Amino acid sequence: MDKPYPNDYYKQLEEIQAADFVLVELTLYLDTHPDDGQAIGQYNQFAQYSKQLKRAFESQFGPLQQGSLNSSPNVWEWSKSPWPWQI
């Protein structure tokens, strides 16, 4: 399907990026502050949220990363276009 993706694709992707960025920042913070419970709570909340966003995105638009589920049993979707730099 080569038609450009609906706007929702980009919105969901940006939401995933924002959640993952928060996880990266919190990971770096928690590396030096292992006993900050509030940050750990926030980390778990965003980890769960990010997993949920990715599950919804992948069921709709295909695998996001190596190791994601391949949704259709007879078509290998990982190498299908569009590639990340084409979207």
Point out which residues bind another protein (CB under 8 A): 14-15, 17-19, 21-22, 25-26, 29, 32-33, 36, 38-39, 46
Angle at 19 (CA atoms; ends 73, 2), nearest 5 degrees: 45
Q: Please identify, using beta-carbon distances, which residue of 8 and 25 lies nearer to another protein.
A: 25
Of residues 15, 27, 22, 3, the one with CA closest to residue 87: 3
Q: At what angle do helices 7-32 and 37-61 cross, to 10 degrees?
A: 150
Residue 23 CB-density burial (10 A; 0-12 exposed, 13-18 middle, 19+ buried): middle
Smallest gap from residue 36 Cβ to another protein (A) = 5
Considering the complex, what minimum distance in angstroms separates the CB of residue 77 from another protein?
A: 27
Nearer Cβ to another protein, position 39 or 64?
Answer: 39
Shortest separation between residue 43's beta carbon and another protein, angstroms: 11
Closest to another protein by CB, 7 vs 38, is: 38
